[in-house]
C-alpha cells in the first residue's frame, strides 16, 4: 500500500532476523503464555530461509481487519453525507455568482463572494478534521491487529526455518525489496494462521471486496469530498 493509505504501521521495516524481531519493540500479544512460548524459540532459531510478508495487506485481509474496517466505513458514512451537503452548498453559491454576478451591485456581489470564501474555508477544515479522525480510528484498528500479529509472525518464522522475513508493504525504491517471487511470500499463510487464532469468522460474501474506510479527501469545490479508495500493494 502506498501513500493512498495512511502510514499507520511501525516506521521500521520488518527486514529483521527472527532473533532481532523477537527482541524488538513489537508489543506482546494479549496472551502472555503465547508470547512467552514464542520468544525463546525465536531467540534460538537457526533457520536460513528468507521470506516476505506484506504486513499492510495481511492486516486488511484478516477476518478481524475486514470486519472492523467495514464497521468503520459504515460509521463514517454520515460524515461523508454531511461533507457532500456542505460542498453542494458552496457549489450552489458559486453557480449563483457565475450566473448573477454581473447583475448584482458591488455590495451584493462582495457579500456573496465573502460568503463563498467563508463556506469554502469551513468545508476545507471539515474535510481535514474528518480525514484526521478517520485516520486515527484506522490506526487504532491496525495497531491492535499488528500487536497480535507480530509475536505470531515470529513464532511462525521460527517454526518454519526462516532466518529473515522482509516486509513488502512499500514497493521499491521506498521499500527494501527490489524484487521477490511469490514462492517466498508468506502473507497468505500469516493471514490464515491469524484467522485461526483469532476465532473471528470470515465475513459474509459480497459482490465486491470490502475496502477499508478512509478519511475524506479534500477536493476542489467543483467536486464533493469523498473517501478515496485505498489500494494495497501486492507483494513483489
Q: What is the pLDDT of residues 175-208, one digit of tens each?
A: 888 899 999 999 999 999 999 999 999 988 776 5
Q: What single string gives the DSSP state of each residue in the chain?
A: --TTS---S-SS-S-EEHHHHHTSSPPPPS-HHHHHHHHHHHHT----EEEEE-HHHHHHHSHHHHHHHHHHHHHHHHHHHHHHHHHHHHHHHHHHHHHHGGGS-HHHHHHHHHHHHHHHHHHHHHHHHHHHHHHHHHHHHHHHHHHHHHHHHHHHHHHTTEEEEEE-SS-TTTSS-S---GGGB-HHHHHHHHHHHH-PPPPPP-SSPPPPP-PPBP--TTS--B-----PPPP-
Answer positive or negative: Cα dihedral of 132, 137, 142, 143. Answer: positive
Confidence of residue 169 (pLDDT cuts 50, 70, 90): very high
Average pLDDT score over residue span 62-67: 96
Contact 62/189 with Cβ under 8 angstroms? Answer: no
The distance of Cα 191 from the centroid of its chain, to the nearest Å, equals 16
Residue found by looking up cell 527494501 in the block: 176
| Helices 187-198 and 63-100, axial angle in degrees (round to 10) | 110
Q: What is the pLDDT of residues 206-234, one digit of tens each?
A: 765 555 555 444 444 443 334 434 444 34
What pLDDT does residue 130 have? Answer: 94
User: What whole-number distance in Å separates Cα of residue 200 and Cα of residue 30?
Assistant: 15
Average pLDDT score over residue span 31-38: 37
User: Which has more pLDDT, 200 or 46?
Assistant: 200
> Could you give phi then psi for residue 165, rounded to 5 degrees?
-125, 130
What pLDDT does residue 143 have? Answer: 94
Compute CA distances 124 → 87, 120, 170, whole Å.
9, 6, 29
Across the chain, what does the average pLDDT equal?
76
Cell matching residue 66: 475486514
What pLDDT does residue 175 have? Answer: 86
Contact 187/47 with Cβ under 8 angstroms? Answer: no
User: Which has more pLDDT, 7 or 212?
Assistant: 212
Query: Considering the entire predicted model, what is its pTM?
Result: 0.64
Average pLDDT score over residue span 136-149: 95
Contact 196/120 with Cβ under 8 angstroms? Answer: no
What pLDDT does residue 10 have? Answer: 34
User: What whole-number distance in Å separates Cα of residue 202 and Cα of residue 173?
Assistant: 34
What pLDDT does residue 76 have? Answer: 94
What pLDDT does residue 6 have? Answer: 36
Amino acid at each position: 500500500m502506498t501513500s493512498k493509505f495512511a502510514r499507520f504501521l511501525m516506521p521500521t521495516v520488518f527486514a529483521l532476523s527472527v532473533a532481532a524481531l523477537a527482541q524488538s519493540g513489537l508489543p506482546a500479544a494479549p496472551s502472555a503464555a503465547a508470547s512467552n512460548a514464542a520468544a525463546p524459540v525465536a531467540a534460538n532459531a537457526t533457520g536460513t530461509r528468507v521470506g516476505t510478508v506484506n504486513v499492510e495487506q495481511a492486516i486488511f485481509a484478516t477476518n478481524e481487519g475486514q470486519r472492523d474496517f467495514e464497521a468503520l466505513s459504515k460509521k463514517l458514512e454520515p460524515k461523508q453525507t454531511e461533507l457532500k451537503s456542505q460542498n453542494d452548498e458552496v457549489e450552489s453559491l458559486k453557480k449563483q455568482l457565475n450566473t448573477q454576478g454581473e447583475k448584482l451591485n458591488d455590495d451584493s456581489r462582495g457579500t456573496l463572494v465573502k460568503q463563498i470564501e467563508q463556506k469554502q474555508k469551513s468545508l476545507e477544515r471539515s474535510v481535514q478534521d474528518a480525514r484526521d479522525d478517520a485516520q486515527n480510528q484506522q490506526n487504532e484498528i491496525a495497531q491492535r491487529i499488528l500487536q497480535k500479529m507480530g509475536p505470531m509472525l515470529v513464532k511462525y518464522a521460527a517454526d518454519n526455518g526462516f532466518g529473515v522475513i522482509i516486509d513488502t508493504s512499500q514497493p521499491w525504491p521506498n521499500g527494501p525489496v527490489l524484487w521477490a517471487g511469490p514462492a517466498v511470500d508468506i502473507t497468505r499463510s500469516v493471514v490464515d494462521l491469524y484467522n485461526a487464532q483469532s476465532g473471528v469468522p470470515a465475513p459474509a460474501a459480497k459482490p465486491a471486496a470490502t475496502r477499508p474506510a478512509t478519511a475524506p479527501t479534500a477536493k476542489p469545490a467543483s467536486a464533493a469530498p469523498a473517501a478515496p479508495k485505498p489500494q494495497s500493494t501486492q507483494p513483489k
